[in-house]
Amino acid sequence: GQQVMQIPQYQHVQEGEDFTTYCNSSTTLSNIQWYKQRPGGHPVFLIQLVKSGEVKKQKRLTFQFGEAKKNSSLHITATQTTDVGTYFCAGGFQKLVFGTGTRLLVSP
């Protein structure tokens, strides 16, 4: 079946440093969604990308969808302690296949 892997599994940064998580699918994706899950919380939708090569920005967050629609990335510029959590990519529109997730820890 479809597998969606994310790297790194875990990253610990100092506040102000940048952070990137990469998402790779074993099959071509129709779309990619990104979610953030705070410790002890539930996933919260961040964004959806649909077009090949699409790039979207949300303040300090930049999302990219690969040309081949098999990979995606999330880049956070100048991390803040509020960015702490696990970031998941997910393929699909309603029935989602979640990536393995990247846990981000930000030290002040």
Partner 1 sequence: GAVVSQHPSRVICKSGTSVKIECRSLDFQATTMFWYRQFPKKSLMLMATSNEGSKATYEQGVEKDKFLINHASLTLSTLTVTSAHPEDSSFYICSASPEYTPSYEQYFGPGTRLTVT
Query: What is the binding site for partner 1 (CB under 8 A)?
Result: 1, 33, 41-45, 48, 88, 93-101, 103
We find the least distance from the C-beta atom of residue 63 to partner 1, in angstroms, to be 13
Q: Between residues 42 and 59, which has the closer beta carbon with respect to partner 1?
A: 42
Q: Between residues 75 and 103, which has the closer beta carbon with respect to partner 1?
A: 103
Report CA-CA distances (Å) from 37 to 29, 43, 52, 101: 22, 4, 26, 10
We find the least distance from the C-beta atom of residue 53 to partner 1, in angstroms, to be 18
We find the least distance from the C-beta atom of residue 43 to partner 1, in angstroms, to be 5
Q: Which of 81, 95, 79 minimizes the C-alpha distance to 31?
A: 95
Q: Between residues 77 and 92, which has the closer beta carbon with respect to partner 1?
A: 92
How many angstroms separate the first and last alpha carbons of the chain? Answer: 41
Neighbours of 5 (CB within 10 A): 15
Q: Between residues 33 and 72, which has the closer beta carbon with respect to partner 1?
A: 33
We find the least distance from the C-beta atom of residue 9 to partner 1, in angstroms, to be 9
CA-derived radius of gyration, the chain: 13
